[in-house]
């Protein structure tokens, strides 16, 4: 399977030495990628990177004068993530190296075909020493990734949990297949899964999770281990969460704003992806129609004497122009994938906000309950009935209760109030704790998002530039041929 | 009857006949005086300029053959422009007239500048006259009559502008044609006041005589030609193929324009989406707004590029589609002339009575045929050169415009990159060293 070649590395680091070090680590990450020699052009300031990269990989990187700079954002992000230096990533290199089709019997004993992905873990030190030991590896399918993520969501509700690549291809422009078995889709998903693992591995909290670690290391029995944690029981029901959202009285303003932001982000990125897909479709049409020029010029050149050669060669350039759109749009898909990640991140962000609403609501409920119980105690103690209660009504109807009964009730209330106060204290602490840790992660997320999306926009500009350069080249060539007509 | 001569396409010096247009004799004089045509100014031994009794070695046809086509602006002695469409309303109809301005140094024109107003019908008349006089010369096509296609109105601005440009090109092509440009009808078209033109129009061959010609043509067509020379058959094959190819190119180009327009429609929504997004963001607001601006600018460039294709390439391709039809008509007319000659030859062979008249007719028919063939052959060469020049420059022009389009878009995105780099460096976030 052809993998996307890593493209230009953006020079962000200070010392050349650390650049080389990081490059070496990541090189082996992508060592299976066949680099298309013509795919890279690097600025002069990165010559060092170029030679370091080339040496470790054993592949020859060459310059291509015409095509311009291409960016690899996953590589760049990977660099950034590695830079964060969680202890996990400091030790191990993680990658999703390959994808394979398998057939097997599913839960209802029916044949099904599915794809599995190879996860590889390679100790960092070994790679930097130049030795290349066989990595630990295991196969996982998408549903297992989903299980992992669900576990993380429930276990760390105060964290913005990185999203998985989409389950089904959406926002496709018509030439792109919406088929899950399509090799291009599988490839993009492979990249997305790797990205997910690296995001988790670079998160200060998530990277230390044991279930995550065993996901990476224990092929068999992992599922059972996950279920044994009983995380499913801890999951909040949708209904409960929805209820809280409607009824919460005093959510933290910042979280309310964040939720609103999450909504807007989701809406605008969806719109962007839709519009982009339609534009891509149309652009494809424009380029492909030029292929007809190629055909007609060629036919026409057959009947002309002096004009023949010029026409024929111009026709070839028109064919080249028509063909170039495939690469252009493939690159744009990569950009679309980056946008999609944040589309799904928006959802994760909103989930954290909803959880806050839930914890706040439960606190409010507990507090409200406590207040009402205290009130009841007061009423019982003073004998006044201020609030409506069934007790009040029945006692009016059937007569007051005996002092013993009242005593018993008071005692019960006292206990309940004690418990209630404990509960409120607990919930209050939970809430505060939640707000604190969630806000820290939200701030972390904001920084990450600003950085990543800005890089994405830059890479989009670079793609456009590359497309323009190709266009200039083709039409200059065509012009030369035409002038020989 | 055929005289041997140095030059291939000599026309026999038979009797001066009515079939041979008088323009040509006028032309001989012109060519004689023209410095450009050194080749035969030495050869010409014209004694009597008014009759067609030209010397053996020169003939209008040979002159056409040797006429230089790559004229510099220096040697161009007549400039015609068509502009300023205006609408005229009368009781019966509404129509558009165009201003036709001529600047010339030619001596046969009374003055050096003329300005007249002409309507489409006048152009049609001119073309008809030229074709009548020179049935086997290739005239540039006129824009089509108004056809009810889609929602285009006759008085729609775009339609009028497209037509005006085509009429301009038509007159210029006529002016550049060695034979057509010295036509008396052409001169009158360029110079006569409207009333004069109307009366001149009425002077042409009468309705009956034109009917007679048409009948003859139809009869000839029905008879069909028997021994068409190989070169004309080849010409026909070429024209068939050319017609197909140029029509295809026309269609392909129109399709490209359509696709570009649809692409533009979608692209127009991208910029505003980025702008909308920027409103929710803080740090990202600036780059997002920037990208929105870039996308919008690219939209403008794309719009211009589409317009260029429509304004420059499509009209030229379309005209050559019409040219192909003209060529077919020319070849048909030549065939008819040959068919007529063949019929007369047959008649002479079979009939016994009226031999003298028939012989006379036959001679005329033969002359006409030879004239027609030579004229066509020369003009064919000329036409091919012109076609090549026109299409080459149209495609080169298109390629240049495309390059320019991409260069502009490139600059737009590079300025975005630049702004992001200076931004980042300014904030001390990124070290690009």
Residue A298 belongs to domain with CATH number: 1.20.1270.60
Which residues 345-404 of B have a C-beta within 8 angstroms of A?
388, 391-392, 395-396, 399-400, 402-403
Q: Are residues A116 and A231 in the same domain?
A: yes
- Whether A177 is covered by a domain: the verdict is yes
Q: Are residues A324 and A466 in the same domain?
A: yes
- Whether B56 is covered by a domain: the verdict is no
The CA distance from B127 to B142, in Å, is 8
Q: Are residues A190 and A314 in the same domain?
A: no
Comparing CB atoms, the residue among A265, A269, A464 nearest residue B413 is: A464
Q: Are residues A266 and A133 in the same domain?
A: no
ipTM above 0.85, yes or no: no
* H/E stretch holding B95: strand B94-104
Q: Are residues A362 and A461 in the same domain?
A: yes
Q: Are residues B164 and B200 in the same domain?
A: yes
B120 lies in which domain range? 78-204
Q: Are residues B234 and B183 in the same domain?
A: no
| Cα of A204 to nearest chain B Cα, Å | 22
* Contact flag A461-B242 (C-beta cutoff 8 Å): no
pLDDT at position A80, please?
54
Three-state SS for chain A is CCCCCCCECCCCCCCHHHHHHHHHHHHHHCCCCCCCHHHCCCCHHHHHHHHHHHHHHCCCCCCCCCCCCCECHHHHHHHHHHHHCCHHHHHEEEEEEEEEEEEEECCCCCEEEEEEEEEEEEEHHHHHCCCCCCCEEEEEEHHHHHHHHHHHHHHCCCCCCCCCCCCCCCCCCCCCCCCCCCHHHHHHHHHHHHHHHHHHHCCCCHHHCHHHHHHHHCCCCHHHHHHHCCHHHHCCCHHHHHHHHHHCCCCCHHHHHHHHHHHHHHHHHHHHHHHHHHHHHHHHHHHHHHHHHHHHHHHHHCCCCCCHHHHHHHHHHHHHHHHHHHHHHHHHHHHHHHHHHHHHHHHHHHHHHHHHHHHHHHHHHHHHHHHHHHHHHHHHHHCCCCCCCHHHHHHHHHCCCCHHHHHHHHHHHHHHHHHHHHHHHHHHHHHHHHHHHHHHHHHHHHHHHHHHHHHHHHHHHHHHHHHHHHHHHHHHHHHHHHHCC
- Whether A397 is covered by a domain: the verdict is no
Q: CB of B326 within 8 A of CB of B177?
A: no
Percent of chain B having pLDDT more than 70? 73
If we measure between CA atoms, which residue out of B410, B260, B300, B306 comes closest to residue A468?
A: B410
Which residues 386-445 of A have a C-beta within 8 angstroms of B?
none
- Whether A320 is covered by a domain: the verdict is yes
Q: Are residues A334 and A458 in the same domain?
A: yes
Q: Are residues B149 and B256 in the same domain?
A: no
Q: Are residues A426 and A290 in the same domain?
A: yes
CA dihedral B418, B424, B427, B429 (to 10 degrees): -160
Q: Are residues B383 and B273 in the same domain?
A: yes
Q: CB of A319 within 8 A of CB of A294?
A: yes
Chain A residues touching B241 at Cβ < 8 A: 302-303
Helix ranges restricted to H, B279-354: 285-308, 314-350
- Whether A401 is covered by a domain: the verdict is no
How many domains does one find in chain B? 2
Q: Are residues B161 and B252 in the same domain?
A: no
- Whether B121 is covered by a domain: the verdict is yes
- Whether B392 is covered by a domain: the verdict is yes
CATH number assigned to the domain comprising residue B301: 1.20.1270.60
pLDDT at position A78, please?
52
- Whether A394 is covered by a domain: the verdict is no
The CA distance from B320 to B140, in Å, is 9
Q: Are residues A192 and A273 in the same domain?
A: no
- Whether B174 is covered by a domain: the verdict is yes
The CA distance from A102 to B100, in Å, is 78
Task: Give the domain-ending residue among A190, A212, A235.
Answer: A235
* pLDDT tops 90 at residue A111: no
The CA distance from A172 to A159, in Å, is 30
Which segment of B157-161, B353-357, B429-433 scores lowest on mean pLDDT? B429-433
DSSP state of B225: -
* pLDDT tops 90 at residue A132: no
> How many beta-carbon contacts under 8 Å exist across A and B?
153
Comparing CB atoms, the residue among B402, B417, B430 nearest residue A471 is: B402
Q: Are residues A214 and A253 in the same domain?
A: no
The CA distance from B81 to B103, in Å, is 9
The CA distance from A374 to A392, in Å, is 16
- Whether B411 is covered by a domain: the verdict is yes
Q: CB of A118 within 8 A of CB of A145?
A: no
A135 lies in which domain range? 84-235
Mean pLDDT of the B337-356 span = 82
- Whether B327 is covered by a domain: the verdict is yes
- The pTM of the full predicted model, rounded to 2 decimals, is 0.76
Whether chain A has a CB inside 8 Å of the CB on B95: the answer is: no
Whether chain A has a CB inside 8 Å of the CB on B234: the answer is: no
Neighbour order of strands in the sheet with B94-104 = B78-89, B94-104, B113-119
Q: Are residues B167 and B90 in the same domain?
A: yes
The more confidently predicted of residues A286 and A103 is: A286
Q: Are residues A144 and A177 in the same domain?
A: yes
Whether chain A has a CB inside 8 Å of the CB on B256: the answer is: yes
The more confidently predicted of residues A97 and A117 is: A117
Collapse the DSSP code of B333 into the 3-class scheme (helix H, G, I; strand E, B; otherwise coil) and give the result.
Answer: helix
Q: Are residues B298 and B417 in the same domain?
A: yes
Q: Are residues B390 and B277 in the same domain?
A: yes
* pLDDT tops 80 at residue B23: no
Q: Are residues B173 and B247 in the same domain?
A: no
Which residues 14-73 of A have a C-beta within 8 angstroms of B?
14, 45
- Whether B258 is covered by a domain: the verdict is yes
Q: How many CA atoms lie within 13 A of A6 on its CB side?
A: 23
CATH number assigned to the domain comprising residue B130: 3.30.1520.10
| Cα of B289 to nearest chain A Cα, Å | 11
Task: Give the domain-ending residue among A191, A207, A235.
Answer: A235
Q: Are residues B239 and B360 in the same domain?
A: yes
How many domains does one find in chain A? 3
Distance of CA B118 to the CA centre of its chain: 18
Comparing CB atoms, the residue among B238, B259, B281 nearest residue A289 is: B259
* H/E stretch holding B55: none
* pLDDT tens readout for residues B189-248: 998 887 788 887 777 665 556 666 666 667 666 667 778 889 999 999 999 999 999 999
Q: CB of A468 within 8 A of CB of B381?
A: no
* Contact flag A468-B269 (C-beta cutoff 8 Å): no
* pLDDT tens readout for residues A292-349: 999 999 999 999 988 899 999 999 999 999 999 999 998 999 899 999 999 999 999 9
* pLDDT tops 80 at residue B118: yes
- Whether B8 is covered by a domain: the verdict is no
Chain A residues touching B266 at Cβ < 8 A: 275, 278-279, 281-282
Q: Are residues A366 and A468 in the same domain?
A: yes
With a CB cutoff of 8 Å and minimum separation 6, the contacts of B344 are B358, B361, B362, B365
pLDDT at position A485, please?
85
| Cα of A425 to nearest chain B Cα, Å | 37
The CA distance from B27 to B187, in Å, is 13
Comparing CB atoms, the residue among B273, B288, B392 nearest residue A482 is: B392
Instruction: Output the average pLDDT for chain A.
Output: 79
Per-residue pLDDT band for B292 (boundaries 50, 70, 90) equals: very high
* pLDDT tens readout for residues A401-439: 677 888 888 888 889 999 999 999 999 999 999 999 999
Q: Are residues A207 and A352 in the same domain?
A: no
Q: Are residues B296 and B370 in the same domain?
A: yes
Q: Are residues B262 and B411 in the same domain?
A: yes
Task: Give the domain-ending residue among B204, B238, B269.
Answer: B204
């Amino acid at each position: 399977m052809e993998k996307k070649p890593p493209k230009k590395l953006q020079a962000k680091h200070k010392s050349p030495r650390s650049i080389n070090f990081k490059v070496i680590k990541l090189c082996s990450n992508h060592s299976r990628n066949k680099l298309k020699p013509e795919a890279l052009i690097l600025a002069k300031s990165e010559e060092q990177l170029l030679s370091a990269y080339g040496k470790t990989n054993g592949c020859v990187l060459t310059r291509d004068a015409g095509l311009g700079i291409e960016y690899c954002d996953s590589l760049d992000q990977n660099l950034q993530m590695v830079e964060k230096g969680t202890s996990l990533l400091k030790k191990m290199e993680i990658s999703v190296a390959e994808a394979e089709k398998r057939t097997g019997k599913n839960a209802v004993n029916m044949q099904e075909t599915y794809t599995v992905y190879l996860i590889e873990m390679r100790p960092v030190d070994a790679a930097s020493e130049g030795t290349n030991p066989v990595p630990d590896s295991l196969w996982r399918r998408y549903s297992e990734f989903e299980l992992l993520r669900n576990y993380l969501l429930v276990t760390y509700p105060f964290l913005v949990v990185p999203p998985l690549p989409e389950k089904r291809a959406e926002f496709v422009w018509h030439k792109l297949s919406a088929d899950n078995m399509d090799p291009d889709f599988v490839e993009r998903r492979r990249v997305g899964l790797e990205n997910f693992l690296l995001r988790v591995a670079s998160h200060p909290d998530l990277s230390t999770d044991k279930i995550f670690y065993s996901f990476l290391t224990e092929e068999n029995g992992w599922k059972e281990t996950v279920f044994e944690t009983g995380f499913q029981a801890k999951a909040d029901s949708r209904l409960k969460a929805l209820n809280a959202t409607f009824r919460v009285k005093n959510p933290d303003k910042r979280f309310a704003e964040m939720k609103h932001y999450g909504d807007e982000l989701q809406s605008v990125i969806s719109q962007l992806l839709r519009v982009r897909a339609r534009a891509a479709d149309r652009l494809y049409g424009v380029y492909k129609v030029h292929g007809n020029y190629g055909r007609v010029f060629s036919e026409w050149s057959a009947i002309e004497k002096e004009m023949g050669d010029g026409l024929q060669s111009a026709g070839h350039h028109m064919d080249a122009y028509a063909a170039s759109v495939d690469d252009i749009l493939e690159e744009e898909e990569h950009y679309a994938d980056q946008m999609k990640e944040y589309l799904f991140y928006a959802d994760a962000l909103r989930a954290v906000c909803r959880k806050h609403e839930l914890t706040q609501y439960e606190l409010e409920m507990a507090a409200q309950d406590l207040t009402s119980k205290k009130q009841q105690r007061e009423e019982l103690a003073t004998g006044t009935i201020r609030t409506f209660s069934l007790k009040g009504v029945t006692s009016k109807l059937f007569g007051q209760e005996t002092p013993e009964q009242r005593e018993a009730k008071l005692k019960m209330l006292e206990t309940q109030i004690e418990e209630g106060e404990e509960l409120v204290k607990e919930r209050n602490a939970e809430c505060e704790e939640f707000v604190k840790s969630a806000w820290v992660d939200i701030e972390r997320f904001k920084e990450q998002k600003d950085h990543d999306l800005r890089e994405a926009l830059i890479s989009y500009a670079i793609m456009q530039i590359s497309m323009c350069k190709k266009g200039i080249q083709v039409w200059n060539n065509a012009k030369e041929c035409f002038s020989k007509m | 009857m055929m005289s041997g001569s140095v030059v291939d396409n000599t026309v026999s010096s038979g009797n001066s006949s009515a079939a041979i247009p008088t323009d040509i004799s006028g032309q001989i004089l012109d060519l004689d005086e023209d410095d450009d045509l050194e080749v035969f100014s030495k050869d010409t031994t014209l004694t009597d300029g008014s009759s067609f009794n030209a010397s053996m070695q020169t003939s209008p046809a040979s002159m056409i053959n040797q006429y230089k086509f790559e004229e510099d602006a220096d040697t161009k002695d007549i400039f015609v422009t068509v502009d300023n469409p205006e609408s005229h309303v009368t009781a019966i109809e509404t129509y558009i007239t165009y201003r036709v301005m001529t600047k010339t140094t030619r001596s046969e024109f009374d003055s050096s500048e003329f300005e007249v107003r002409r309507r489409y019908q006048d152009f049609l008349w001119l073309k008809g006259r030229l074709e009548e006089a020179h049935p086997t010369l290739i005239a540039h096509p006129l824009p089509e009559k108004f056809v009810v296609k889609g929602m285009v109105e006759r008085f729609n601005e775009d339609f009028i502008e497209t037509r005006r440009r085509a009429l301009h090109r038509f007159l210029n092509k006529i002016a550049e044609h060695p034979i057509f440009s010295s036509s008396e009808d052409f001169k009158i078209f360029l110079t006569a006041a409207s009333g004069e033109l109307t009366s001149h129009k009425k002077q042409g061959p009468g309705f009956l005589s034109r009917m007679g010609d048409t009948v003859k043509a139809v009869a000839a067509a029905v008879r069909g030609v028997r021994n068409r020379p190989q070169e004309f058959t080849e010409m026909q094959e070429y024209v068939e193929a050319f017609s197909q190819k140029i029509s295809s190119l026309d269609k392909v180009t129109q399709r490209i324009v359509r696709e570009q327009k649809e692409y533009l429609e979608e692209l127009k929504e991208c910029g505003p989406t980025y702008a909308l997004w920027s409103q929710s963001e803080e740090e990202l607001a600036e780059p997002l707004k920037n990208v929105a601006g870039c996308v919008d600018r690219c939209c403008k460039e794309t719009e211009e590029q589409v317009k260029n294709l429509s304004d420059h390439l499509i009209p030229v391709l379309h005209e050559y589609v019409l040219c192909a039809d003209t060529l077919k008509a020319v070849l048909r007319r030549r065939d008819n002339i040959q068919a007529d000659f063949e019929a007369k030859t047959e008649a002479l062979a079979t009939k016994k009575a009226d031999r003298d008249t028939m012989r006379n007719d036959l001679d005329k028919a033969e002359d006409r045929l030879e004239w027609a063939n030579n004229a066509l052959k020369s003009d064919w060469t000329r036409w091919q050169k012109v076609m090549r020049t026109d299409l080459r420059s149209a495609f080169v022009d298109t390629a240049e415009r495309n390059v320019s389009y991409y260069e502009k878009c490139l600059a737009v995105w590079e300025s975005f990159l630049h702004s992001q780099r200076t931004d980042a460096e300014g904030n001390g976030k990124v070290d690009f060293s």
